[in-house]
Amino acid sequence: MALEYLQIAELVAREKDIEKEQVIEVMEQAIQMAARKKLAAKLGLHPHELTVQASIDRVTGDVTIKRLIEVVKMVMEVTSPEEARLAVREGREPEMRPASDKRGYPLQENPSQIILAKAQETNPNIQIGEFIAEELPASYADGRVAAQAAKQVIFQRVKDVERAKEMDLYKDSVGTIVSGIVKRADHNGALVDLGRAEAWLPKDEIIPREMLKTNDRVRAYIYKVNPQARGPQIFLSRTHPQFLVELFREQVPEIANGTIEVMGASRDPGFRAKIAVKAYDRNLDPVGACVGIRGIRVQAVTTELQGERVDIIEWSPNAAEFLVRAMQPAQVSKVVLDEDDNRIEVVVPEDNLSLAIGRRGQNVRLASILTGWDIDVMTEAEESERRAQEYKILSANLMASLDVDEVLARLLITEGFRSADDLLKVSAEEVAAIEGLDEGIASELQTRAQTALDAARARLEKLGVAEDLKSMPGITADLVVALGEAGIKTRDDLADLATDELMEALPEGTMTEKQASKLIMAARKYWFDEEDEDEDEDELPAAVPAEAAAEEPAPKAQA
């Protein structure tokens, strides 16, 4: 039987392609577990109360089994049987406490520990941390129960070793493309055999309309390797944008060697994709290099992606220029950037609207993901009408507050003065520099603006608008008056409103839905700031009064 252990270890190591030493260690653990169970049954104890060690001689195959009793300063025991079971299940050390008898006196020994003084009665030279070893007969590793336990442990541990090897093999493979054979496919996804490991391709990571069957060869992108108690799980994807990038890296040598860099990609899997590329060589056309002669390179990618159409776009550091290219094949007449909200308004001809939006909003959605900007698409007619309405409202406000005609009001708006407040933020010389104005008119305009502002402040005091609302960043005097007249007099009043409620409360055209939403969120911001401060205060330790600390008795020493 002795040599059989070594023969079995060598056979398993060869079959599973793992180290023989690892198999022997697993067998030792199995023998150890079986012996501990048998000894525990004989002594009427729970296996966790015993410490047993088993070893196999690497030359002769002889098995040595020892019961170990540790020499300790204080005998400890597991807090409860339930904690012992949980610790075994979770693979951790159990929580311990000092062991005591029924009368509460500390124990001098238990089945796995003994205090130093008692151990030195038989061995005066023994020290804390050493073990008293009692050799057990080899029969403790035999028997049907022991053999069955050994078989289960060997099977499980060998599996663990195999999975650990898989982990070492694939932990650095995240972000790469692999090829495998479909072992099983169902409504949840497909199990793929990679040769040295198995990977899971979830249903939502399979290209729509793609039907995978058993024994199909499939290529996919490793987007996650998740080590778990049952072993590492390798997750694949055929819909990930990086799968598109890696396919181009395979087909385009210039991307592989770094001459061309992929700056971003977005996909509607199975239908359409956009990829942005940048060349570091001025003489190289990055789009043409990715397309290839007669489209051979991009066609190879499209074929792998089940006919997915790919738009290749040259990247630009200019956001507006990059967006115009990203909106292809639609023609863009004008773009307006709002950097504060990370939003771009795109104006297109009427006959290009459907092309710009795309099927089910596909084109504009992919362009938005690729550029990182929120995109609003409108026709030239819609943009003109919106601008006209905005000019009309701003002109009416300036005409009322400054007592000027429509021509002068529109001139001021064109120069960037959208309210009476704006005129007071610059010098009279800057206002006078506007074509058609002089210093006298500029001075008079600023005087009227100050008068309008003073009147608005007086109105606010009469309305009882709180200072916290008036001091909000980006809010104008005219807007505060409009809010006060609508009964919104504090920041909390504003924060409690929904976007549509705020727009209904204000005069028509005062602000857009986006502006209303932004204003409400700004009003709510301090709620969250206060919550963070409260949490920080809760985390601070409570101060102990000096008197109380002085009166607190010192802890008693324990035996």
**Burial letters 309-343, b for 16+ CB under 10 A, else e:** ebbbbbbbeebbebbbbbbbebebeebeeeeeeee
Domain for residue 213, yes or no?
Answer: yes
Does residue 52 or residue 81 have the better pLDDT?
52
pLDDT tens readout for residues 312-342:
999 999 999 999 999 988 888 888 888 877 8
Question: What CATH number should be reported for the domain holding residue 227?
Answer: 2.40.50.140
Q: Residue 187's domain spans which residues?
A: 171-237
The DSSP call for residue 142 is -
Greatest CA separation found in the chain?
A: 114
Q: How far apart are CA 313 and CA 293, in angstroms?
A: 17
Q: What total of structural domains would you count in the chain?
A: 3
Assigned domain for 134 exists: yes
- Clarify whether residues 151 and 175 are in a common domain: no
Reported as type and span, the H/E element at residue 489 is none
CA angle at 27 for the pair 22 and 33, rounded to the nearest 5°: 130
Q: Which of 144-153, 326-335, 406-415 has the highest mean pLDDT?
A: 326-335
Across 467-492, average pLDDT: 79
Does 430 reside within a domain? no
Pair (147, 203) in one structural domain? no
d(CA 202, CA 189): 4
Q: What is the pLDDT of residue 311?
A: 94
**What is the structure's pLDDT at 22?**
76
Model pLDDT, residue 532: 53
- The phi and psi torsions of 334 (rounded to 5 degrees) equal -160, 150
| Domain stop point among 155, 182, 216 | 155
* CB-CB contact of 519 with 502 (8 Å): yes
Q: Mean pLDDT across the stretch 273-286?
A: 93
Q: Is residue 181 part of a domain?
A: yes
Q: Cα 46 to chain center, whole Å?
A: 44
For 173, the token pair is 């493979």
Please state the rounded mean pLDDT for residues 29-48: 83
* 8 Å CB contact between 397 and 390: no
Q: Is 192 exposed, middle or buried (0-12, 13-18, 19+ CB in 10 A)?
A: buried
More confident residue, 548 or 418: 418
What 3-state class would DSSP assign to 550?
helix
Q: Give the model's pLDDT for residue 550.
A: 36
Nearest CA to 110 among 203, 186, 48?
A: 48
Distance CA 418, CA 395 (A): 8
Residue 376 has pLDDT above 80, yes or no: yes
Q: Are residues 127 and 233 in the same domain?
A: no
Task: Based on the fold, state whether residues 127 and 199 are members of the same structural domain.
Answer: no
Q: Which residues have a Cβ under 8 Å from the Cβ of 290 and sit 6 or more positions away?
A: 248, 252, 255, 260, 275, 277, 297, 298, 312
Domain shared by 203 and 75, yes or no: no
Cis peptide before 329 (omega within 30 of 0): yes
Mean pLDDT of 397-412: 82
> Tokens 């006078």 correspond to what residue?
432
Q: Name the pLDDT band for 279 (thresholds 50, 70, 90).
A: very high
What letter does residue 140 receive in the DSSP assignment? G
Residues 50 and 107 both lie in one domain = yes
Range of weakest confidence among 155-169, 225-239, 471-485: 155-169
Query: Quick one: CA torsion of 133, 135, 139, 142, rounded to 10 degrees?
Result: 30
The reported pLDDT for the residue numbered 552 is: 39
**Same domain, yes or no: 129 and 200:** no
Q: Are residues 85 and 199 in the same domain?
A: no
Percent of the chain with pLDDT over 70: 87
* Mean pLDDT for all residues in the chain: 81
pLDDT at 253 over 70: yes
The answer as to whether 206 is a domain residue is yes
- Residues 116 and 202 occupy one common structural domain: no
- Residue 546 domain flag: no
CA distance 30 to 155: 10
292 DSSP assignment: -
Task: Tell whether the model's pLDDT for residue 551 goes beyond 50.
Answer: no
- Please check whether residues 513 and 483 belong to one and the same domain: yes
16 shares its domain with 140: yes
Written in H, E and C, the secondary structure of 251-284 is: HCHHHHCCCEEEEEEEEECCCEEEEEEEECCCCC
Is 432 inside a domain boundary?
Answer: no
Lowest mean pLDDT among 254-263, 338-347, 434-443, 547-556: 547-556
Say what the pLDDT of residue 106 is.
87
Q: Is 397 exposed, middle or buried (0-12, 13-18, 19+ CB in 10 A)?
A: buried
In one letter, which amino acid is 445? L
The answer to whether residues 25 and 99 belong to one domain is: yes
Q: Which of 122, 155, 188 is the last residue of a domain?
A: 155
Nearby residues of 176 by Cβ (< 8 Å), 6 or more positions away: 221, 222, 246
pLDDT band at 94 (very low <50, low <70, confident <90, very high): confident
The amino acid occupying position 441 is: I
Name the CA radius of gyration of the chain, rounded. 39
